[in-house]
Structure 1
Amino acid sequence: MSVTQRRGRRIMMTGAERDAYLAGQRTCRVATVSAEGRPHISALWFVWDGTSLWLYSLTRSLRWAHLRQNPGIAVVVDDGVEYGELRGVELSGQAEFVGEVPRTGEEHAELDSPERLFAAKYFDMDTLPHDSRHAWIRLTPKAVTSWDFRKLTSP
């Protein structure tokens, strides 16, 4: 993962700040592009494991269809109302499909951690219930940009 943020270094999050922020946020926006070049942005729940962003997506969604045609993906997680409160992270790279499609709960060691994190974050459970409509997408970002405008008011 590269962090090549030239402008805005003053407001850039540290690695620890970024990890804590991504762990605490619930919704991201996922940008995809069809093979014909049509963009699509959609909201989705996610988990961050410190290295990769894991998206549990409907397999019959436009997002899924786009990623099957073109695995390029960008994701934004942000919040804040007033200008001085704005903060967020943008991650981009190539989507990877992990596990069976759709996910039925077969043993898959790579999914143990994201499923445990996801179940705890969104359902307050130890294990993730599978509905045979969703499957996992992993984004191990090639580029990451972050901002925390609250740092502008700090001494």
Structure 2
Amino acid sequence: MNQRARITMPEEDVTALIESSQKLQLATINPDGTPHLVTMFYGLDEGRIAFWTYGKAQKAINLSRDPRVSCLIETGEQYAELRGVLLYGVAEPVDDPGRVLEVGMQIARRMTPGVSDEDLRPFVELTGRKRLAYVVERTRVVSWDHRRLA
């Protein structure tokens, strides 16, 4: 077995890393073809990455032109600890305002564990007026877990 195959995570480990993390690196494609890379907090919509952003943000402008994205979730400090998931996919816009609010609530809950929905909702509703939400449909997954090399 080659080293690449040895470090590939099984699907349940991929799912566990996605569920346990809060942030990811989101890459969209600028008009000139270069990547636009930002850190985003995210939620989960039936296991799929869900995020929101202001409608005038560069990533939203990029996604309106080309919905392809890459999402990187990684952890570990030393080489032998590195784990990560790279999702390639298409960011599908969420059109229903109620679902946009729910994506915002999912993200807020993950960002502020222990804070009640009652306390989060006014902020999410206020900021959500200017936001767009997206759900990422995966097209390819690449993973690695260097702990498997030991």
What are the ranges of 5 or more consecutive residues in structure 1 without an aligned counterpart?
1-5, 101-105
After the TM superposition, which residues 51-130 of structure 1 pair with which residues of structure 2 at under 5 Å, given as runs? 51-99=47-95, 106-108=97-99, 112=102, 114-123=103-112, 124-126=115-117, 128=121, 129-130=124-125
User: What code does the residue aligned with 1:43 have?
Assistant: T
Larger proportion of helix: 2
Check the 8 A contact 1:51/1:140 in 2, yes or no. Answer: no
User: What code does the residue aligned with 2:148 have?
Assistant: K
Deviation at 1:48, TM superposition (A): 3.1
Residue equivalent to 2:134: 137
**Partners in 2 of 1:147 and 1:60 — Cα distance?**
34
What are the ranges of 5 or more consecutive residues in structure 2 without an aligned counterpart?
none
Query: Does 2:8 match 1:19?
Result: no
Deviation at 1:88, TM superposition (A): 0.6
Identity %: 23
Name the TM-score, length of structure 2 as normaliser. Answer: 0.81
Deviation at 1:67, TM superposition (A): 0.8
Cα shift readout 1:18-65 (whole Å, capped 9, x = no counterpart): 111111111111111123313211111112345411012222211111
User: What code does the residue aligned with 1:32 have?
Assistant: T
Deviation at 1:7, TM superposition (A): 6.5
Deviation at 1:83, TM superposition (A): 0.3
